[in-house]
Structure 1
């Protein structure tokens, strides 16, 4: 085994120049990565810096944002309660959260279960802009989550058909319902349950589930964006880990280090193998993980992009599965632009396409946050894992490209695929994304010469989503505009409002550095427009906000009218 590992390590070591090139192309401050093979950590490295000033080197103890890789811990926490007989995977959500009863589809309240939430098949639209506001602020309280989900759209806007268990629709908030259930069963805060039942037994002392875990820690990766002057800017991240909002913690809110995540992968693979192989001798003493085979199996098929070659992928409970070689390996990565229908560049860069006689499974996930991406791939057949983390994502997902380079070297896949041209293409598309898809359409629709009413007419508080979310329009305390908006009374979410058309204002303005530093989570400029409704007497009745690209604009009535 040592001879084999020496050869593998040699191949991994030879990847360093390519990874350094990926870092340069994607302009991320750091990339940290590590490998497990046959249950043992065989390779670790870090390049670059954990801070925006590029003064502090990253290392294997640096704590990065996990983003959606947090879901692995949520499903594992549920698995412990299932193993103890306190929960069933097919238990209805309403059994524990009787207030869960989405208005758009009565079947959800009656039928949606734990698996539906964890595999993203509730069909509920994701209330992303109602949970995460500008500059990373948490825009809602956890007590309102169920009520907000109850008014989320449930139909496909194109077909008019209900989506529940008919379509796959990613939804962090629905995953968050499982955290609330765990709290009601255990009597503990979700963060405390994770620490006591998972992290401490595994010795994962560098995994953060509360803000206090990192407040005094100097080795934390700052999520970064690169500004037009070439400097890095640290994006605000004071809400993460979001222990004051358990559903967000469950879906996207944890942080961890490379070393801890290698420990995690070892434990996951160890637990899963012990459930499938009666002759297997466990290597993790007192491993707390249960139901891993059930958690990591595929529940919802994701069609292959090239059905003549790749098998379909499948989504499990906080994990996705592919059989390598596959065009779907990076389907959950941040390199989405080059994989879109207009490009499909990834089909030309499938690792191992000619060298794998028998397809073998890869089970993993990617966690993308503002200025940060974390990737985890595990390989049950060889008890292997590839873990990568970055603290920048302006010009592509360096963690994904790095992971694929390392996977190729780990298994000696041939022919060798050079991923640098793909990375260059993704970076080019990302560099133009803001201008082509946000700024130019915004400018084309703007009518600055329209009649502008007295801006004080719009000042007031507006209520929507069954009074669970409010928008406050006020005379601005900021210098850029006379009006500003505050989301759901979170004062640190304040953004200036720019006149766009008669009775239409925008909390976006055409400045790429502004867009990057505000970090507003929007796919389309229309999500950043407010259309005020003015009656015949000249009074504002309310406003419409298209908070989601696939939903009708939501009505907010002006309070006091």
Structure 2
């Protein structure tokens, strides 16, 4: 370790008490973090536990869920095939997946290329609730993905087409890249990534399939904190994604801190080798190709602060920002304090006085239920900050930890105390369910409306080109009253009880915060958890479901018996 790395380590060590305060404030089972500087790992550290019972300490080899950080590997896989001449970044999706042809805008099928998918500008709404059901259930098959995407809305709320005009985050569209990798390489996506990236880099603690972690005890369990103060293990049994390559490519991988630090070193080394003829590679036979092309910005996200005019840009599984900037935290899970009402990100900008120039951060955040993983790389100094946590009920501890480490790594001035921001986020997060979901749900419920015979609603309802089914079932309760439930796309593990909400409207949300947390339903508003049945002459013909806040409710026609 040279003198500069040693000085950086002393600064990083001195900020450990601040990270401990973040850990306490955000009430997460664990935070694991590490730092690379000038191509060398100079710090690894874990605080807390990897399990819901707070029994087993986390460490640098504990495997966490990567979430959207999986996209980094997907773009790298495509980069390898581009380098081999088997793909081009400007290849149209239809060249490899001719059935891709969204109904709402013919240009999307005809013109969308690989870059459009990676940078989230296809204009297609994201079918998140059609892919991930309650309790982490994978709700649709990989072979149905294109048909579902073809049925996605393509217009914004003003009726304007979004294709290459708006940035709209969409995991499913990135998942198309896995199908293209499989089509071109002739291998399963998981096998390609393992053989062409993970094994050459010695990343043996990165999981692609069930077999990778089946007998591994060192896993970070995604957790939520219940009203009694206990942590609850959120079901994550589906998230090996063996049979769903698109989900694996978009958000389904897992990895450890040590492996992700190795990944960052490899990415930075490959990128520098492509631009600097005098650079001596750290990794011989580095498998990563085209990193300069992959990590550049392809879509500008405007700055939102008056003092610093630097925008963020989004690339292919990476975002870029030049420091100092309030956009540093814009991809984090700390969204509640960054809205117009609070704008905390404008008040806690790092390095206003002395950020070294140029200092570009290139990274991504992967947020899942009960889990957040954050990666920041700094090409100028061949540095990286990696953080992970297995809880997120009271803010994104990985983001606050990363900012503390970045500030210490570069000795940024003035020193910004991020704890007040973290406390504000934690307080808002603690009240979010009650204020933004439960309260409006109760306000608009009409439990005294007349209710029809519940058996009228029992049946199967299909939507999205008949590729997705809502199964409404009934059973007699001990009180002899018929109770209804909904099963998403025949996945029995996704079954949720329905409760009467208004006349001909039933809800799969229960007015109980612990229930909502443990069911892990991915929804932003209560409307997404209402099923509105259409009744014509005492016959139910179908139902309406607003599965996405950016879309109008969609029609599910009842299947004739």
Fold match, TM over 0.5? yes
> In the alignment, does 2:454 pair up with 1:473?
no
What corresponds to 1:514 in structure 2? 515
| Partner residue, 2:360 | 361
Alignment partner, residue 488 of structure 1: 489
CA contact (8 A) 1:481 1:497 kept: no
CA offset at residue 478 of structure 1? 8.3
Contact 2:375 2:384 in 1 (8 A): yes
**What does 1:47-446 align with in structure 2 at a 5 Å threshold?**
47-157=47-157, 159-356=158-355, 358-446=357-445
C-alpha separation in 2, matches of 1:481 and 1:80: 57
The alignment of Structure 1 onto Structure 2 pairs a total of residues equal to 559
Decide whether aligned partners of structure 1 residues 481 and 322 sit closer, same or farther in structure 2, where only a CA change above 3 A counts: farther
CA distance in 1, matches of 2:477, 2:179: 38
Please state whether the residue corresponding to 1:497 is helix, strand or coil: strand
Partner of 1:501: 502
How far does residue 357 in structure 1 lie from its aligned partner after superposition? 5.5
Q: What secondary structure does 1:527 align onto?
A: helix
In the alignment, the residues of structure 2 paired with residue 521 and residue 49 of structure 1 have an alpha-carbon distance, to the nearest angstrom, of 25
Asked whether the equivalents of residues 355 and 410 of structure 2 are also in contact (C-alpha less than 8 Å), the reply is: no
What residue in structure 1 maps to residue 524 of structure 2?
Answer: 523
Deviation at 1:358, TM superposition (A): 2.5
How far residue 549 of structure 1 moved from its aligned partner, in angstroms, is 0.8
CA positional deviation for 1:2: 1.9
Q: Retained in 1: the 8 A contact 2:223–2:231?
A: yes
Deviation at 1:16, TM superposition (A): 1.0
Quote the Cα distance in structure 1 between the aligned partners of 2:530 and 2:355. Answer: 50
Q: CA deviation at 1:310?
A: 3.6
- 186-195 or 307-316, which moves further after superposition? 307-316
Contact 2:446 2:501 in 1 (8 A): yes
1:25: which partner in 2?
A: 25
Q: What corresponds to 1:15 in structure 2?
A: 15
* Cα distance in structure 1, aligned partners of 2:519 and 2:309: 40
Distance in 1 separating the partners of 2:482 and 2:197: 49
The 1-side partners of 2:205 and 2:216 are apart by 10
Contact 2:400 2:422 in 1 (8 A): yes
Over residues 440-462 of structure 1, what are the superposed CA-to-partner deviations in whole Å (9 max), with x where a residue is unaligned?
00001100011011111100000
TM superposition shift of 1:305? 1.1
CA distance in 2, matches of 1:466, 1:376: 38
The equivalent of 2:460 in structure 1 is 461
2:473–2:484: 8 Å Cα contact kept in structure 1? yes
Q: Please state how far the C-alpha of 1:560 moved relative to its aligned partner.
A: 0.8
In structure 1, the residue matched to 2:558 is 558
Distance, in Å, in 2 between the alignment partners of 1:309 and 1:193 is: 42
Determine if contact 2:240/2:252 at 8 Å carries over to the other structure: yes
SS in 1 for 2:143: helix
Map of 1:547 onto structure 2: 547
How far apart are 1:476 and its partner, in Å? 4.3
C-alpha distance in structure 1 between counterparts of 2:476 and 2:121, whole Å: 43
Q: Any runs of at least 4 consecutive aligned residues in structure 1 with deviations exceeding 6 A, and if so which?
A: 477-481
Residues 235-265 of structure 1: CA deviation (Å, up to 9, x unaligned)? 0000112121000000000000000000000
Give the conservation status (yes or no) of the 8 Å contact 1:481–1:498. no
Structure 1 gaps, min length 5: none
User: Distance in 1 between the 2:476 and 2:12 partners?
Assistant: 53
CA–CA distance in structure 2, aligned partners of residues 476 and 127 of structure 1: 30
TM-score by length of 1: 0.98
Q: Secondary structure at the match of 1:354?
A: coil
481 and 200 in structure 1: CA distance in 2 versus 1, 3 angstrom threshold:
farther
Q: In 2, distance between residues paired with 1:477 and 1:202?
A: 57
- Distance in structure 2 (CA, Å) of the matches to 1:542 and 1:483: 16
* Aligned-partner Cα distance in 2 for 1:519–1:6: 43
Residues 310, 325 of structure 1: 8 Å contact kept: no
Could you give the per-residue CA deviations for residues 213-256 of structure 1, whole angstroms, max 9, x where no partner exists?
Answer: 00100000000000000000000000112121000000000000
User: Contact 1:66/1:367 (CA < 8 Å) preserved in 2?
Assistant: yes
Unaligned runs of 5+ in 2: none
| TM-score, normalised with respect to structure 2 | 0.98
Please say which of residues 52-61 and 234-243 is displaced more in the overlay: 234-243
Mean CA deviation greater in 379-388 or 11-20: 11-20
Distance 2:503 2:484 in 1: 15
User: SS at 1:144's partner residue?
Assistant: helix
SS of residue matched to 1:103: coil
Deviation at 1:105, TM superposition (A): 0.5
**Paired residues of 1:179 and 1:246 also in contact (CA < 8 A):** yes
Q: 1:478 to 1:323 in 2, by over 3 A?
A: farther
Deviations 1:289-315, CA, capped at 9 Å, x for gaps: 000000000000000111441401100
| Partner Cα distance (2:6, 2:288) in 1 | 31
Shift of 1:337: 0.4
State the alpha-carbon separation in 1 of the partners of residues 358 and 404 from structure 2: 18
Partner Cα distance (1:284, 1:481) in 2: 65
Q: 1:478 to 1:326 in 2, by over 3 A?
A: farther
Kept after mapping to 1: 8 A contact 2:462/2:558: yes
Cα deviation, residue 42, structure 1: 0.4
